[in-house]
Amino acid sequence: MKTPLIAALTGAFATAVVAAVPLWLQHKSLTGLYSGATASEKPSAMAILRRWNAIHNSSSSPDAELLAAESVQILNATECRLAADLAMASGDKSPLSDLLGRWASVDGKEAFTWLTGHPELIGQVIMDAGPAWAASDHAGYAEWLADYLPARNWGSEYDSYIYCKWLAPYDLRSAIRIMMKKFRQSGSSSATITGQLLIGKLDISPFITSSKDAKGLADEIVKHPEWLTPISAGPGLRPLLNEERPMELLRALRQCWQEVDAAGWDAWAAQYPMLAARADNKPRDPGEVLLLSRNPPSDATQMLREAPPDKQAPVLKRLLAAWSYLDLNAAGTWLRTLPDGPLKWEGVQTFALTAVGEDPAAALQWADSITDPTQQARAQRRVFTSWYDYDPAAATVWLAQSGWNDSQIKAAHDIIAAGKTDGK
């Protein structure tokens, strides 16, 4: 009986030893990771990863990923480093995005120094770590970015733009400077074709909230005249590259600056007329102003009053077109307050042509309100033919009962037959 028992015990011991070898090897490999850690920090890395995995892999919570990310927000830089090292050693890299995001927020330089030893992880963690570092230490992030981007021969300008965009809310001038340098060095696709960086109003408007912001970007552009010269390209593209074309960055600057401080832009444009010309300099569109207005009636009246006499009709048309899109009834109420005359008649025609899609009968009543017989007849024909374009049956029935004289009805039929809708 002893022999089988001894054999069983021996076998069990051997099995335990074999099973323990991988654990011993893992412990040995992790011992080096903990060489700089305190006694309390050594077990914490394992606990951090266990907690993260338990939350992240929980099927009971729809917010598991968010809760897992929140679970590491209490860590300090040392704990982040230990947990990241342990994750790398274990082969499970899934916690690294959250860990590096937290690490970058408390010590971005240390976190990104660690990343230089693991370049294969940049793509995985940068969307969390980059914004975190930019928000907590934008100067440090800008310094790293200025060295990092030019050293990478990437084919996509999208990556460069995104990385710089994280910096823009805190240091727009540095963000633009780094991005322009990268784009001009890289020969990126859009820059090569157009000879310039294609950056528009929507790209920079979130970061220009004051005249100071706009002036800062303008000063940066002035300091870098090379930005205003075409990027070299092959002979086939050279006709596209000339210094007379509007520069998209300057155009975007003008549009943003005019929104926050139109007078400030005008003053800068007067100081730098050549740059203003490259910005496709022109007054801000009245319709855009109205769409952002907190008091449309007051602002519309002021813009119309300040417009030169020969520009009042186009300004009125732009105001009504934008305002009708925003609030058709409010636009009509304001239009009624204008004094009778050629300017109002132009506005009534514009408004009626906009309103015909919503209420043809009301649009025709607006045309009827014009007191000048010639302008009235012209507006009536234009509104009717516009209605006919999308609902010919209803328009035809209305025309037969309209009470128009034979000449007016014939003119409408002639316009329809000719395929014209301009009323001329």
Q: How far apart are CA 315 and CA 322, in angstroms?
A: 11
* pLDDT over 50 (residue 122): yes
pLDDT at site 158: 55
Q: Which residues in 123-146 are b (16+ Cβ under 10 Å) and which e?
A: eebbebbbbbbbbebbebbbebbb
More confident residue, 379 or 148: 379
Please check the confidence at residue 349 and state whether its pLDDT lies above 70. yes
pLDDT at 420: 53
Does the structure show a pLDDT above 70 at 111? yes
DSSP class of 327: -
Question: Would you place residue 235 in the very low, low, confident or very high pLDDT band (cuts 50, 70, 90)?
Answer: very low
Residue 184 CB neighbours (<10 A): 19
User: What's the pLDDT at 31?
Assistant: 36
Structure tokens at 375: 């302008």
* Rounded distance between C-alpha atoms, residue 270 and residue 338, angstroms: 34
For 233, left (φ over 0), alpha (ψ -120 to 50), or beta?
beta
Domain ranges of the chain: 44-249, 288-418
pLDDT at residue 145 in the model: 87
Per the CB < 8 A criterion, the answer to whether 278 and 246 are in contact is yes
End-to-end CA distance of the chain: 118
Average the pLDDT over each of 82-86, 88-92, 398-402 and give the range with the smallest value: 398-402
- 198, two tokens: 């294609």
Question: What Cα–Cα distance (Å) separates residue 83 from each residue in 46, 79, 132, 232, 382?
Answer: 7, 6, 18, 47, 73
Residue 162 phi, psi dihedral angles, 5° rounding:
-65, -45
Element housing 128 (H / E): helix 122-136
Q: What is the mean pLDDT of the chain?
A: 79
Burial label, 301 (beta-carbon count in 10 A; 0-12, 13-18, 19+): middle
In CATH terms, 288-418 corresponds, of 3.30.460, 3.40.50, 2.160.20, 1.25.60, to 1.25.60
How many other C-beta atoms lie within 10 A of the C-beta of residue 284? 15
Q: Which residue has the higher pLDDT, 98 or 248?
A: 98
Worst-scoring range by mean pLDDT, 157-166, 204-213, 219-228? 157-166
Q: Residues 14, 17, 19, 22: is their CA dihedral positive or negative?
A: negative
Residue 26's pLDDT is 36
Give the pLDDT of residue 152.
Answer: 53
Q: Which residue has the higher pLDDT, 134 or 168?
A: 134
**Higher pLDDT, residue 249 or 368:** 368
Q: Would you state the structure tokens that stand for residue 21, as one six-digit string?
A: 């070898």
171-185, 240-254, 275-289, 363-377: range with lowest mean pLDDT: 240-254
pLDDT at 334 over 60: yes
